[in-house]
Structure 1
Amino acid sequence: MDEGVVGITASDWAKGIFLSIIASIIGGASKLSIRKSWLIQAEQVNQYYQHEEEEQGSLSTSNDNLLSNDNTTVEQPDLVTPPLATADATDHDEQRQRQQRQRRPSPVWFYFLRGCGMFGMSVLNPICCVLAMNYASPSILAPFSGLTLVWVILFSPLVNNEQPSGRQILACCFIIAGEVIVAIFGDHTNDEGITVAEVVLSYKKPAFIIYFVGLIIYLIVMTYWINYSESYLLRRFAWGCSGGAITGTQNFLKDSLTIVKAVAVDDQQQIHHLPWVFYVLFLSAASTAFIGLLILTACMKRYDTTYSAASFVGSFVVSASIMAAVHYNTFAGLEGVLNYILYPLGIAVLMIGVYILVRESNESYEEDESVDQQRRQQDTSSNDEDSFDSENIVGYSEFK
């Protein structure tokens, strides 16, 4: 789509970046909200089962005490037992059931948080992206989604009680520096005067077909790793990078907006309705955004916020940048040799920041996994000792 490309004014460029920053804030808040909903649900479920285990443990302890008393007491004369207090027992059972119901996780709060996150990612964020694309090129708007990671790191201590480390702060600096470089030396052109026929023709170009087929093959491999891979790292990578790659297909959303503008200004052909291709593109844009959001939500259920957001944004930036270069020929809009050097450099600096966040999350997971493994080994050894002692005690009683 090289035709009808004109330069944008400084005010339009600033409006596009401002709206993209607003979209990143909404995206960061939505991701934190979704992750918080999973944390609350997991915490309440763990507390519920912990109470159940404690009650079962107390019952087993009381039964053991009764058995020990039976072994040590002498023969007693027969006593007449009074009738059971059925009313007291019923009241006790009702009180216990009421306490169990109170301890069960209430779905209202975490469903509210999850709903807010889904609404922000599926409605508010795309609206800001559409408005931003009206003023600036996707090649400089897509990298600004990296600001989402900055908001996640900054507000994680308040929302999820996670303090950012020195590496995470360093990663935020890399991300901001990369976005500044991309904003200054990126493609400062936008599509104007594009017709509906030109939009349809752009999807028949061999470069876009190759890109789209490659993306489908990539997603098939990611799906296979998620479902069948025995490697934890491959499954983790596939969960993190699938949603961003799908959502990075911003061409459907951008071209839908282009068709709306083309129909609005087309006075010669007197088109008073939107063509069928608009509905196909809009449905594709909504479907890819929703599928990417579902994958991100499932990833946040399994992994921490830092890794999930960093992998999603990193794969989104790479996918959107490749799409913009192939579909919109953004490198043709660069003005000089310096732009050809610094624009890819800015994306590389941004990806270094994303890699630091992913690496930091991997190391923290490995530390937690080693600690959990040590605890499991200690629990296993203590259980073996307990079983050995109980066997000796049983053998001793039988010997007597």
Structure 2
Amino acid sequence: MLHVSDHHGSQDRHDARVVVIGTGYVGLTTGACLASLGHRVVCADADSGKVERLSRGQVDILEPGLPELVADGLATGRLVFTGDTVSAVREAEVVFLCLPTPMGLGGAADLAAVEAVAGQVRHELPDGCVVANKSTVPVGTSGRVAALLGRPDVAVVSNPEFLREGRAVHDFLHPDRIVVGGAPEAVERVAALYGTLGAPLVRTDAASAELAKYAANFFLAMKLSFANNLATLCESFGADIADVTAAIGQDPRIGSAFLQPGPGWGGSCLPKDTHALLSVCEAAGIDFPLLRATIDTNVAHQERLVERVVADLVPAGGSPAGARLALFGLTFKAGTSDLRDSPALAVARALRDLGIELVAYDPALSATRPDLTDLLTLADDPLSAADGAAACLILTEWPEFRDLDWEAVAARMDGRTVHDFRNLLDPDRLERAGLVRQSIGRPYALTG
């Protein structure tokens, strides 16, 4: 039964023995933040190289505040890293599963890592331990993990994360809610770990907690698809998307978040979670047309933007093959180095398939990315990316792009169009540089 409270109502724990399995964005943030709350945390990972780097305080992912928390945890001894998962869990009171659940065949979540770890630790978990699943998993996974463990003395709960990359540490330490689903006693034990944060606690069953994570990401994806479709309407009717979303965003029933149009939505969560939810709906024989439309709208929006770029390159028709474009930004959003399911890369692939040469710059990426060599050339600076470009595309909303020396960029470009697919730039500043800004959700005219 659902229970929401402003205060935990359970006895806070400040020194629990916690093991976090997996040190990606979620796992590392969870471990470092729990250590900062006073718990004794062991983070386990099968990647020995990553364990060695983290043990030295080297954090490979770009996440503000995380390197400092890791360094502090190591210095105080509250945070330890190991590659021996089996030994790590033997004295744990709570074990968090923070494992990857990538998109598998047909869009379903791939639970191989979760199932493998459950098999590894099932005989090593101490009596009375609680296993908390933070990985985003289909409804019923808590029961599946419990069956794999085969340990009636070990409770399995769902404790989904609601962290935004680039703000993960802030979101963990200042959550708007904490959701824990499972048997009441186990729920209270996990909730107690967060007690000092003072966030509203949603106590529920495991299935509801698991579905809540998918439902949240689906709603956010739906809102973004709505904003991008609304931008198309604005272009057709001569309206301004910024004014329209400012007007509707003042309505507390709608809110202003996730109403900014862009080159589509992506990242490590929304694409795989919407497809996973669609997969479980289909398996259950449930028709969810709004979910399918949300996904299809995202794809169609990106195709439309590519068509706009091509029409600008060759307004009379014909092939754009051989044209050169400068791409500013490749990560799925500013503040992270994550390229997973980046909408910028989706647009780039569609352009490359047309034979267009792409040169890109992103402040979070080095110029040596072998995984990108077949798609584009990665430049060391924005001016090098702009050399000989027929047009420039803004694909990630890095603030520094707003303050570029656009006169210098214009001098290096062959063309004069800047497709601002994040509505980031000042059109007057671009005009003074001799450039024409084409944004999203405002009337535009081809410049070719």
The structure with the largest strand share of the pair is 2
Of structures 1 and 2, the one with the larger relative CO (CA 8 A, separation 6+) is 1
TM-score, length basis structure 2: 0.23
Which structure would you say has the larger Rg? 1
Provide TM-score, normalisation by structure 1: 0.25
* Structure with the largest fraction of helix: 1
